[in-house]
Amino acid sequence: MMSDSNDYRITTHLAEIDLGAICDLLQNHSYWANERPREEIERAFRSPASICFGLLDRAGKAVGCARVVTDRTTFGWVCDVIVHPEHRGKGLGKRLVEAVIAHPDLQFRLILATRDAHTFYEKYGFERREMMRRPASTPPPS
């Protein structure tokens, strides 16, 4: 899937997305992935459970992304949505979310978690709900 414009395009072809640039973007400009190891980010983007969206500038440099973890049947978890600070304010986050919700393989329930962008996502039909969370370091019950 491609979405072209004058200066940016969105691709779901992982081979076109510079994962090094995505790792730098997530580690240096996000609150949710700033401590995530590079290898973990790359593994998540390469996972067959992920549909990845790369936002590329005219030169083909990755300046944003979104990722959906999905079973491709009943649900998708939208995550890692980010646009590099130098490219914000141009409607590119909107284009990323629009590409996600229009993707033909994601026409079912989509969920996400955000601590600061509720109003933005509500414009696309997302509703505020409570989610439970189990940190990775939590031991199983005895």
Instruction: Please give the pLDDT value at position 3.
Output: 43
- Long-range contact set of residues 89-98: C-beta below 8 Å, sequence gap at least 24: 90/8, 92/8, 92/55, 92/63, 92/64, 93/64, 93/120, 95/3, 95/5, 95/8, 95/10, 95/55, 96/10, 96/53, 96/55, 96/64, 96/65, 96/66, 97/66, 97/121, 97/124, 98/124
Domains contained in the chain, CATH given: 2-122 (3.40.630.30)
Q: Over range 68-87, report the average pLDDT.
A: 97
Whether 56 has a pLDDT exceeding 60, the answer reads yes
pLDDT recorded at residue 32: 94
* pTM metric for this prediction: 0.90
